[in-house]
Amino acid sequence: MKNKELEKNTPWDDLHEECGVFGMYDFDGHDVASTIYYGLFALQHRGQESCGIAVSKTDGPKGKVTTHKDMGLVNEVFTQDILESMKGDIGVGHVRYSTAGASTRENAQPLVLNYVKGTLGLAHNGNLINANELRRELEYTGAIFQTTIDSEVIAYHIARERLNSDNVEEAVRRAAQKIQGAFALVVMSPRKLIGARDPYGFKPLCIGKRDNAYILTSESCALDTLGAEFVRDVLPGEVVTITPEKGIVSDTTMCLEKERQARCIFEYIYFARPDSQIDGIGVYDSRIKAGRFLAMDSPVEADLVVGVPESGNAAALGYAMESGIPYGTAFVKNGYVGRTFIKPKQSNRESSVKIKLNVLKEAVDGKRVIMIDDSIVRGTTSDRIVRMLRDAGATEVHVRISSPPFLWPCYFGTDIPEREQLIAYNRTIEEIRDVIGADSLGYLEIPRLEELVNGLSICKGCFTGKYPMEPPKEDIRGDFER
Ligand code: SF4
């Protein structure tokens, strides 16, 4: 399926993250491509459509960058030969799921840009809300874009700002002050590795170290995979510059007061791997808490608590711990169902959900089951899973959701469908319960969200319609194609 546009072919009702970013600079001059490969492999859950790596030699000719990117999973796109041919002690990498810009090879990242001061490599996670205006502005002054992604707008702005800045980090900061929305950025210049996080901190980014090499990564789980130590999170609004001469240099000019920060709460509830820590909060702990809160706020008598894998599992354990009802495994998941999965036709007897999940009949037969899931988007999957539990002999199925109902779109990088397609739109909880065929239904309450992350300031826009910044007037997703 390489080199051709892939249909978004996900046959279930999941949400999607946009991307994962990774950067590395080895001060001892060792090649970094294969370490970036393993780092991206640990971030694969953040995007499965395309991936890429760009590396450069800091002692070589300024700006000689080697890039390889394509459609596909990390282990499909890279071979040992490719990695060994990629020489360089500094590099950036990216895994992508597209929410802005089509799913094509041209739109794969990292982006590499040659300009008058050298070469830039850039990987971006998040969606910008003013990319259209900025792009038009650039086009009127002669810029020709190679892609339809908003990340290229950032790269152009950095290149342009560099002409009037003393150094590349200042150019990154100036560009970052122009762009609005969500961004975690990793930028490679000929001699520097730079990380930047938007002032609201929508998307995560952290710093790690292994021997004499520094790493920037969307999630800390990648550091564990590589045997690297966690140094710290990049602060919301911070720009960090990593060089052998000065180590980590921090610029906090763009940082906002803590109360205005707005981390995407869905990183904790669903996107991030449970073994990651984001801004000092363990993702697994926050999911356990969500389950405990559900048990406190939506109790029900039952024999067994089960999670819909993977992200429902920790919340189910939390519910079991709080309620005293035994925790069990009811589902076996086929982990091999990926991006290129061929969705069964309506006429086929195979069901998409059943291909992904099977129920352990002996675990649920004759039992009153509490089923915990992280979210209900359209509701199409939930009603099938409830039915599967009943078919396997569950006498009652009580559904508990470890997030509040989705009612509004996201402009910052999460692929939430149109309002009209959301099951919670214009329906009461009782009506939703009826649609999915559950005996009872309970959602996490909105005030509980901050408690999941020990009071950190978060974004709740998709639940409340109140966004941390003025949302665009129209749907901006895919505008460049239009
Ligand atoms: S609107 Fe929802 S999904 Fe989007 S950033 Fe905010 S919390 Fe995350």
Q: How far is CA 192 from the centre of its chain?
A: 25
Residue tagged 């000092």 (tokens): 280
Peptide bond into 110 cis (omega under 30): yes
Give, using CA atoms, the residue closest to atom 8 of ligand 1: 264
* Enclosing H/E stretch for 119: strand 118-125
Residue 279 CA: distances (Å) to CA of 220, 231, 352: 10, 12, 36
19 is catalytic: yes
Cα distance between residue 169 and residue 152, in whole Å: 17
Helix (H, G, I), strand (E, B) or coil at 278: strand
pLDDT (0 to 100) of residue 346: 60
CB atoms within 10 A of CB 59: 7
Contacts of residue 113, Cβ cutoff 8 Å, sequence gap at least 6: 119, 120, 121, 122, 155, 156, 159
Which pLDDT score is estimated for 141?
A: 77
% of the chain at pLDDT higher than 90? 72
123-151 burial by CB neighbour count: b if 16+ within 10 A, else e?
bbbbbbbbbbebbeebeeeebeeebbbbb
Nearest Cα to Cα of residue 358 among 392, 383, 328: 392
**Probe target for ligand 1 pocket from 128, 459, 464, with the most ligand atoms within 8 Å of CB:** 459
Judging by DSSP bridges, how do beta strands 396-401 and 440-443 pair with one another?
parallel
Kindly report the pTM of this predicted structure: 0.91
- The residue whose CA has the least distance to atom 4 of ligand 1 is 410
**Which 3 state secondary structure label does DSSP give 359?**
strand
CA 77 to ligand 1 centroid distance, Å: 30
> Is 462 annotated in some ligand binding site?
yes
In one-letter notation, the amino acid at residue 363 is A
Q: Which residue has the tokens 């989705």?
A: 406
Q: Looking at 72-130, list the stretches that DSSP marks H as alpha helix, in order from N- to C-terminal side.
A: 74-77, 80-85
- Extended strands (E) in 218-287: 229-233, 239-243, 247-251, 263-264, 277-278, 281-282
Q: Max CA-CA distance within the chain?
A: 71
- Our answer on whether the CB atom of 388 is closer than 6 Å to any ligand 1 atom is no
Q: Which two tokens stand for residue 432?
A: 């939703």
**Domains along the chain with CATH numbers:** 19-261 (3.60.20.10), 283-453 (3.40.50.2020)
Give buried/exposed letters for 195-204 (b at 16+ CB in 10 A, else e).
bbbbbbbbbb
Q: Among 198, 268, 460, which residue has the most ligand 1 atoms within 8 Å of its CB, making it the best to mutate? A: 460
Pocket test for ligand 1, best of 17, 46, 200, 266 (most atoms within 8 A of CB): 266
Residues (pLDDT < 50) of the chain are 1-12, 478-482
With a 6 Å cutoff on the Cβ, whether 414 touches ligand 1 is yes
What type of residue sits at position 31? D
211 is in an annotated binding site: no
Question: Structure tokens of 143?
Answer: 């810029």
Does residue 238 contact residue 166 with C-beta atoms inside 8 Å?
A: no
d(CA 277, CA 274): 8
Cα separation values, 305 from 258, 260, 282, 373, Å = 37, 37, 22, 11
| CA atoms within 13 A of residue 147's CA, in its CB half-sphere | 24
User: For position 98, what pLDDT does the model report?
Assistant: 66
In angstroms, rounded to a whole number, what is the distance separating the alpha carbons of residues 407 and 426? Answer: 9
Q: Are 168 and 162 within 8 A, CB to CB?
A: yes
Pairing of strands 19-26, 118-125: unpaired
Burial 384-423 (b: 16+ CB within 10 A, else e): bbbbbbbebebebbbbbbbbbbbbbbbbbbbbbeeeeebb
Q: Is the CB of 402 under 6 A from ligand 1?
A: no
**Ligand 1 lined by 264 (C-beta under 6 Å):** yes
Sign of CA dihedral 47, 68, 101, 122: positive
Q: Which atom of ligand 1 is nearest to the CA of 468?
A: 6
Burial status of residue 466 (CB atoms within 10 A of its CB: 0-12, 13-18, 19 or more): exposed
pLDDT of residue 474: 61
CA distance 268 to 110: 26
Instruction: Tell me the C-alpha distance between 65 and 81, whole Å.
Output: 17
User: Given this model, what pLDDT does residue 131 score?
Assistant: 85
Q: Tell me how far the alpha carbon of residue 187 is from its chain's centroid.
A: 18
- Token pair listed for 431: 């009506």
